[in-house]
Amino acid sequence: MTIHIGAEKGQIAETVLMPGDPYRARWAAETYLDKPELVNEVRGMLGYTGTWKGHRVTIQGSGMGMPSLSIYANELINDFDAKTLIRIGSCGGMQDKVGIRDVILAMTASTVSTPSRGIFRELGFAPCADYGLLAAAHKAAEAKGTTTHVGGIYSSDTFYDERPDLNEQMVRHGILGVEMEAAELYTLAARYGRRALAILTVSDHLITGEALPSDQRERSFGDMVEIALEAAFA
């Protein structure tokens, strides 16, 4: 047990999928895992462990934003020895070629700041995905016929943004989408020698103003879970 995860050692698998929303963790575990067992409910941040095609998998909510994700990822890595951590979440599209419902595989995650910012000081550390996971996820997404983009994303600290100039620079520099967690996940994975990837569905679009209706979010979310599981055990 840790401060934020009530599971016993051994109840968390080496492979962890991390949706931001704890209810999504429950839905994914009940939909895709065999014999899902609730292993965490501290602060309602649900975590489940079960098996997928015989492989043990934990699906643990991360909460929204890098400070929250950082707590769960640190404890999963340092106390439960998680080896592969895959964020499955939503993002806002930032390029015309990126459509609602498309999947983005985040090769890199630019950021103003993460909870790790303090240790880098003047250095602009470049958080990046694990290449093996990225390549496997790309293959799995293509096989499903999912429209997929691979490239840089922006991990913001704010959903209600007051820096339109910064978004403009991100768009100008080819950033595919904006979310709020991946940069810290990638930084922690780099620090501790773990594999990490963020698989994101475009749920809204900063340029076109479109947004995915809530009843359609579930299906897109299911595609991401399948891509994540196939990539983790490729």
Give, as ranges, the residues between 117 and 176 that touch ligand HPA (CB under 6 A): 156, 159
The one segment of 3-11, 178-186, 189-197, 217-225 that binds ligand HPA by CB under 6 A:
178-186
Give, as ranges, the residues between 23 and 82 that touch ligand HPA (CB under 6 A): none
CB of 178 to ligand HPA, least distance (A): 4
Q: Work out whether 178 is an interface residue with ligand HPA (CB under 6 A).
A: yes
How large is the C-alpha radius of gyration of the chain? 16
The single residue among 81, 157, 204, 210 that binds ligand HPA, judged by CB under 6 A, is 204
CB of 99 to ligand HPA, least distance (A): 14
Helices and strands, number each (H, E), in the chain: 7, 9
Measured CA to CA, the distance from residue 6 to residue 194 in angstroms comes to 22
Pairing of strands 103-111, 47-52: unpaired
Measured CA to CA, the distance from residue 83 to residue 105 in angstroms comes to 19
Nearest to 58 by CA among 67, 68, 46, 43: 46
Q: Work out whether 90 is an interface residue with ligand HPA (CB under 6 A).
A: yes
CB of 157 to ligand HPA, least distance (A): 9
Q: Give the residue numbers marked as catalytic.
A: 204
The one segment of 70-78, 89-97, 98-106, 224-232 that binds ligand HPA by CB under 6 A:
89-97
Nearest to 89 by CA among 68, 118, 113, 112: 68
The DSSP call for residue 157 is: S
**CA 193 to chain CA centroid, nearest Å:** 17
- Of 178 and 231, nearer to ligand HPA (C-beta) is 178
CB of 73 to ligand HPA, least distance (A): 18
Determine the angle formed by the axes of helices 182-192 and 66-78, rounding to 10 degrees: 30
The single residue among 58, 62, 111, 203 that binds ligand HPA, judged by CB under 6 A, is 203
**List of residues contacting ligand HPA (CB under 6 A):** 90-92, 156, 159, 178-180, 203-204
